[in-house]
């Protein structure tokens, strides 16, 4: 028989991770009050990268729907919406939850959304809430945004707006003409007119800038790729172009003598994508250096380059650093090309001793890379250890795919998948015969 305390602790920890376990607990224990934990995850987006993963509003709303304390949870969400000032992705989650409440017919939620939009906005996030207003009120909502943004521009002479809100309205209501509706409103309302003219000026300025921008450096010449003005070499661009064997050899030889720090960084980055064809000594020596402001990026690229190379010395270096580093995930990925049977025990121990979110994220990156390259059932132990600790839904999805590919997905975990906070993970649920 489970105690109420252990049950609530389990629920709270699983909620923070975003796994489907809280749904199963709520269904199995319908009389338990989990509202404290639901309020906690509603008022903070616990995803490791809220921008990449998006909000967890649908996940939280599902738990809210199962709760007997819905009024209490709603009040807490709307209060947090009015006061959140620290995290953009928590704020967008609160707006999204308020939208769901408003769509249920709760007028307080509707008012809370309109009141918060453009009021004490988090820096760089004054757009938050606009999609919810448009979703709720359609054209009237779009007009409300145009007026409110126009009033803001009256207070800030150097403010600027692009066409984001116009595009959002047009995308949601394709049968209407967003620009025509805005221009009609601008003939009647001074604030809307100010907003329209500002957007048009911003678009004209952008067009002028793009017309004056220098042309792209051609990819044909390797020297051009390595010396692109004003920015570092693009991995995506280099992958798309590809490198012939003689070019890889040429760049490797250049790396041994190159003195320009920026070009050296570009060369090292090349060998995070293509295996270094010469003796690995210089790469390993760079990875061994003590990091400082000047060489930190070079060391990072050298470590990434080592994961493409296989040698006993490289493996020994990785194992030694993994044991004594506070961020073992930085070195664990080297095992991608240097994995040996039994390494799962070491990786599991690293996960179990790591408690920081960033440390778990690095180990998730490393373990998924390792087991994508080394298919083995022994991946189960470290991957399940990660599942029980990681707040990143994106890497949880990758972990579960690997468990399925290796045919070691536990039945208890499969039951949780339909309720996971990450939508793509829900689709990984395996039908039972």
Query: Which segments of 29-116 does DSSP mark as H helices, in order?
Result: 35-42, 50-53, 57-66, 70-83, 88-104, 107-116
Q: What are the Cα distances from residue 206, in Å, to 153, 154, 160, 212? A: 19, 22, 12, 10
214/218 Cα distance (integer angstroms): 12
C-alpha to C-alpha distance for 361 and 386, rounded to whole angstroms? 9
DSSP 417: G
Place of tokens 């820096």: 123
What was the pLDDT predicted at 229? 43
Selection from 77, 71, 109 nearest residue 90 by Cα: 77
Q: How confident is the model at residue 73 (pLDDT cuts 50, 70, 90)?
A: very high
| DSSP notation for 147-170 | HHHHHHHHH-TT----SHHHHHHH
Q: Which of 151, 112, 148 is nearest to 132 (CA)?
A: 112
State how far Cα 68 lies from the chain centre: 32
pTM of the full structure: 0.89
Q: How far is CA 252 from the centre of its chain?
A: 34
Q: What is the mean pLDDT of residues 136-160?
A: 94
Q: Taking residues 334-363, what's their average pLDDT? A: 96
Q: Please, are residues 406 and 33 in contact by the beta-carbon 8 Å criterion?
A: no
H runs (alpha helix) in 187-311: 190-212, 222-226, 235-241, 245-257, 261-270, 281-288, 296-306
Q: Give the residue, 42 or 240, on which the prediction is more confident.
A: 42
- Candidate from 72-76, 230-234, 317-321, 366-370 with smallest mean pLDDT: 230-234
Answer whether 15's CB lies under 8 Å from 38's CB: yes
Which tokens in the block code for residue 163?
């066409």
With a pLDDT cut of 90, the percent of the chain lying above it is 81
DSSP state letter for 20: S
Burial classification of residue 236, based on how many CB atoms lie within 10 Å of its CB (0-12 exposed, 13-18 middle, 19 or more buried): exposed
Mean pLDDT is lowest, of 1-10, 221-230, 301-310, for: 221-230
Contact assessment for residue 88 and residue 50, using Cβ atoms and an 8 Å cutoff: yes
What pLDDT is recorded for position 1? Answer: 64
Q: What pLDDT, on a 0 to 100 scale, did the predictor assign at position 212?
A: 86
Determine the pLDDT at residue 231: 45
- What are the tens digits of pLDDT across the range 169-198? 999 999 999 999 999 999 999 999 999 999
For residue 230, what pLDDT is reported? Answer: 40
Every domain of the chain and the residues it spans = 4-211, 222-426
152-166: pLDDT as tens digits: 999 987 899 999 999
The DSSP code for 217 is P
pLDDT digits (tens, 9 = 90+) for 257-297: 988 888 888 889 899 999 999 999 999 999 999 988 888 88
What percentage of residues in the chain have a pLDDT greater than 70? Answer: 95
């Amino acid at each position: 028989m489970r105690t109420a305390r252990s049950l609530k602790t389990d629920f709270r920890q699983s909620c923070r991770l975003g796994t489907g376990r809280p749904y199963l607990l709520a269904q199995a224990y319908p009389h338990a009050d989990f509202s404290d934990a639901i309020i906690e995850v509603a008022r903070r987006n616990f995803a490791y990268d809220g921008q990449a993963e998006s909000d967890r509003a649908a996940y939280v709303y599902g738990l809210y729907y199962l709760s007997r304390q819905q009024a209490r949870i709603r009040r807490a969400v709307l209060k947090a919406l009015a006061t959140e000032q620290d995290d953009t992705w928590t704020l967008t989650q609160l707006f999204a939850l308020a939208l769901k409440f408003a769509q249920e017919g709760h007028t307080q939620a509707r008012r809370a959304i309109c009141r918060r939009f453009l009021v004490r906005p988090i820096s760089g996030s004054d757009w938050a809430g606009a999609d919810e207003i448009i979703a709720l009120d359609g054209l009237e909502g779009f007009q409300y945004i145009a007026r409110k943004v126009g009033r803001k521009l009256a207070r800030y002479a150097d403010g600027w707006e692009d066409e984001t809100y116009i595009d959002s309205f047009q995308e949601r209501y394709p049968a209407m003409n967003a620009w025509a509706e805005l221009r009609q409103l601008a003939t009647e309302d001074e604030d809307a007119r100010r907003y329209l003219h500002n957007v048009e000026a911003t678009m004209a300025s952008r067009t002028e800038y793009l017309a004056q921008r220098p042309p792209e450096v051609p990819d044909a010449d390797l020297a051009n790729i390595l010396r692109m003005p004003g920015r570092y070499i693009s991995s995506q661009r280099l992958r798309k172009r590809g490198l012939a064997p003689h070019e890889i050899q040429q760049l490797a030889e250049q790396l041994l003598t190159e003195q320009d720090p920026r070009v050296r960084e570009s060369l090292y980055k090349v060998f995070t994508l293509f295996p270094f064809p010469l003796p690995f000594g210089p790469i390993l020596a760079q990875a061994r250096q003590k990091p400082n402001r000047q060489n930190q990026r070079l060391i990072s690229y050298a470590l990434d380059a080592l994961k493409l190379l296989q040698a006993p010395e490289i493996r020994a270096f990785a194992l030694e650093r993994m044991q004594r580093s506070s961020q073992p995930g930085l070195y664990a990925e080297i095992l991608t090309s240097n994995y040996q049977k039994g390494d799962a025990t070491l990786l599991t121990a690293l996960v179990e001793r790591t408690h920081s979110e960033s440390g778990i994220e690095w180990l998730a990156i490393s373990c998924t890379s390792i087991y994508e390259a080394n298919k083995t059932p022994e991946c189960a132990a470290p991957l399940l250890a990660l599942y029980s600790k990681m707040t990143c839904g994106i890497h949880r999805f990758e972990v579960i795919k690997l468990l399925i590919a290796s045919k070691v997905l536990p039945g208890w975990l499969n039951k949780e998948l339909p309720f996971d906070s990450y939508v793509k993970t829900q689709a990984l649920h395996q039908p039972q015969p």
